[in-house]
Amino acid sequence: MCGIFGAYSPRGKKVLEDVYLGLYALQHRGQEAAGVAWVNEGGRISSIKGSGLVHLALDQAKLAEIDASCAVGHVRYSTAGGPDLANAQPLTASTSKSSLAIAHNGNLTNAAGLKLFLENRGAIFYSATDTEVILHLIAHQPHKQPLDAFVDSLTRLRGAYSLAMVIGQDLVAARDPWGFRPLVIGMRDDVYYVSSETCALNLVGASIVREVEPGEVVIFGPGGIETIRIPVNVKRRFGCAFEFVYFARPDSVIDGRSVYEVRKDLGKKLAQRAPCPQAHLVTGMPDSGTIASMGYAGESTIPYEQTVVRNRYVGRTFIEPTQRVRELGVRIKLNPIEKILSGKNVVVVDDSIVRGTTCQRMISMIKACGASQVHVRISSPPVRFPCYYGIDTPTRVELAAAKMNLRQLEREVGADSLAYITEEDLIDAIGLPADTVCTACFSGNYMEGEEDSEPGL
Ligand code: AMP
């Protein structure tokens, strides 16, 4: 997971507060750490990183004062490397030719092999992230100009990378040739932005220019914008379906498709495929199932009700996991409204079942309020395979839908009925050609099955 944001002003405007705000809007993509890196007057790179949420990790007022017109930032959700601060990004480095800072969203699938190759040639890694491999690959080609070394390095990578970088005094954005993770360009006056999602561009008042194309490197420098193709031939695109299902903010637009509209349509299609005529009301798991549940309600004409209220101030790290708190479990975060649920047949819509814990707890909570029947509808196909491209899914043995068939899972979570959307309906709702969408977590069709996965070094 993770979110990245970059800003560049060719006229020397200060951009650090915008980067801070951009990260603030991308907070949902990672809550473990946040950081920014920028170019100083003399071309040196400075960075500040901290643990936790953006407003705790970074000092907005201090950043706003710093005179920097080229900067990148990152919010971290650790998928590769642990949560400690050494793994927080942007990572920075200096070579004899240039200073570098890198913010990465995605997971490289051949990082271990590359790391071994580099270590055998003397590289010393200071973090446990796959991202650091990219810096070492650049440093490994000292005879080349940094940008050429960077583009060459990208040809060695497999898997997912959306990058916002500082190379020298330029802002550089790059997206892997498969286009796993989103990355979009924005502009306000003469300031350029790159962002994981459009919602962050909305916040800084930037208009959306276009996506960084899969396989494209975009350089924002004093001379304007330059673009380079990464010389890797790929058979097809692999844009992440799970961004639409769960991960991206609903007010974002990915590949020209509104995430909100896709989720609503998923709910509508679920209502067509898996109707529940005996239900008195439709509700969504807050907040992940809310939009799809409204789509379900609209299509089925069963009334929508908000039956569970979420404490919106609950963070991941705020409450100590004592025994008492563990016993309270999901109630710390969610509280059902008994008056609405009592005696009712309820359709509960959520976006996904991963380990199955959330679903099980929600059903028992709703039943404890006196609901007569709970029918669960999931707006993604069963998650049966781990993601190696940057979404934090557990191993197969922990994935509920990989261990159990539908009926077993229905019993396990305590639902009166359980139904998922089909992969065809998911693709249809996303509205992009099927051979451009990655469904590996549902289908097990990984990019490695189609492409040369170990490029030469
Ligand atoms: P689980 O309790 O493990 O079945 O998790 C499913 C719930 O977590 C769903 O309500 C999703 O909204 C949410 N979810 C799905 N994928 C992820 C993820 N990669 N990281 C965190 N939460 C997730």
Atom of ligand 1 at shortest range from CA of 355? 3
Determine the distance separating the centroid of ligand 1 and the alpha carbon of 380, expressed in angstroms: 12
Rounded to 10 degrees, the C-alpha dihedral 225/231/234/236 comes to 10
Atom of ligand 1 at shortest range from CA of 393? 19
Atom of ligand 1 at shortest range from CA of 351? 12
Query: Is the minimum distance from the CB of 192 to ligand 1 under 6 angstroms?
Result: no
What's the pLDDT tens digit per position in 232-281? Answer: 999 999 999 999 999 999 999 999 999 999 999 999 999 999 999 999 99
The model's pTM is: 0.95
Instruction: List active site positions.
Output: 2
What pLDDT is attached to residue 316? 53
What pLDDT is attached to residue 390? 92
Atom of ligand 1 at shortest range from CA of 350? 10
> What's at 102, amino acid-wise?
I
Domains 3-232 and 262-440 are alike in CATH topology: no
What's the pLDDT tens digit per position in 84-98? Answer: 888 999 999 998 889
Query: Is the minimum distance from the CB of 167 to ligand 1 under 6 angstroms?
Result: no
The length of the chain in residues reads 457
**Six-digit token string for 10:** 């060719």
Half-sphere exposure of 413 (CA within 13 A, CB side): 32
Spans in the chain with pLDDT lower than 70: 79-83, 315-319, 453-454, 456-457
**Six-digit token string for 263:** 């989720």
In the CATH hierarchy, which fold is given to the domain comprising 3-232? Glutamine Phosphoribosylpyrophosphate, subunit 1, domain 1 (3.60.20)
Determine the distance separating the centroid of ligand 1 and the alpha carbon of 378, expressed in angstroms: 12
If one counts every other C-beta atom within 10 angstroms of the C-beta of residue 197, the result is 27
Determine the distance separating the centroid of ligand 1 and the alpha carbon of 110, expressed in angstroms: 26
Determine the distance separating the centroid of ligand 1 and the alpha carbon of 353, expressed in angstroms: 6
Determine the distance separating the centroid of ligand 1 and the alpha carbon of 284, expressed in angstroms: 14
Residue with the nearest Cα to atom 12 of ligand 1?
288
Sequence ranges of the domains in the chain: 3-232, 262-440
The CATH class that applies to domain 262-440 reads alpha beta
Atom of ligand 1 at shortest range from CA of 360? 2
Query: Is the minimum distance from the CB of 257 to ligand 1 under 6 angstroms?
Result: no
Query: Is the minimum distance from the CB of 57 to ligand 1 under 6 angstroms?
Result: no
Residue with the nearest Cα to atom 15 of ligand 1?
352
Whether residue 90 has a cis bond before it, omega within 30° of 0: yes
Determine the distance separating the centroid of ligand 1 and the alpha carbon of 261, expressed in angstroms: 21
Determine the distance separating the centroid of ligand 1 and the alpha carbon of 304, expressed in angstroms: 23
Q: Which of 7, 4, 68, 65 is nearest to 34 (CA)?
A: 4
Supply the DSSP symbol for 415.
Answer: -
Percent of the chain scored above 90 by pLDDT? 85
Instruction: Count the helices and strands in the chain (H runs, E runs).
Output: 17, 23
Rounded to 10 degrees, the C-alpha dihedral 433/435/436/442 comes to 110
Residue 257 · residue 431 · CB < 8 Å: yes
Query: Is the minimum distance from the CB of 392 to ligand 1 under 6 angstroms?
Result: yes
Atom of ligand 1 at shortest range from CA of 387? 19
Half-sphere exposure of 228 (CA within 13 A, CB side): 17
Mutate to test the pocket of ligand 1, among 31, 79, 246 (most ligand atoms within 8 A of CB): 246
Query: Is the minimum distance from the CB of 394 to ligand 1 under 6 angstroms?
Result: no
- Exposed, middle or buried by CB within 10 Å (0-12, 13-18, 19+), for 268? buried
Per DSSP, the residues of 296-325 read HHHHHTPPB---EEE-TT--SSSS---HHH
What's the pLDDT tens digit per position in 345-383? Answer: 999 999 999 999 889 999 999 999 999 999 999 999 999
Q: How, if at all, do strands 216-221 and 170-175 pair?
A: antiparallel
Mutate to test the pocket of ligand 1, among 27, 354, 384, 392 (most ligand atoms within 8 A of CB): 354
Query: Is the minimum distance from the CB of 352 to ligand 1 under 6 angstroms?
Result: yes
The span from the CA of 61 to the CA of 269, in Å, is 47
